[in-house]
Amino acid sequence: MAYIELARYKLLAGVDANALMEVEREIQQEVGPKHEGYAGRELLRTDDGTFVLIMRWENAESAATWNNTLFASAAGQKLGSLVDRSSMSMEKLTSFQS
C-alpha cells in the first residue's frame, strides 16, 4: 500500500527559491535515503508561488518518525528557516483500490 504525504507551503518573504532548491537536493540525496521506509519526495511549484511537496513512504510508521530525522539534520534546520510555517498545510493519503 502506498503512503503519501502532501505538504503545501510558501517561503518567507525575501527568501530566494534557489536556496530552497539547494536544501531540497540535499534532503533528497543525503537525509531521506538514510531514513527507514523513505521512498522519495518531489517538490513542485504552483503559479502563485506555493510549493507542493509530495513525500512517499513504505508505511505510515516511517512517515510518523520522519520529522525527527529531518530536523536533526543541518538541511532540515535550514529548510525550517526558509518556510513560512503559517502557510503550511499537510494531507496524508493512502492508495485506494476497490
pLDDT tens digits in sequence order for the chain, 98 residues long: 679 999 999 999 999 999 999 999 999 999 999 999 999 999 999 999 999 999 999 999 999 999 999 999 999 999 999 999 999 999 999 887 75
What domains does the chain contain, in order, with CATH numbers?
3-94 (3.30.70.100)
**Region of residue 75 (phi > 0: left; psi between -120 and 50: alpha; otherwise: beta):** alpha
Q: What is the DSSP letter of 35?
A: S
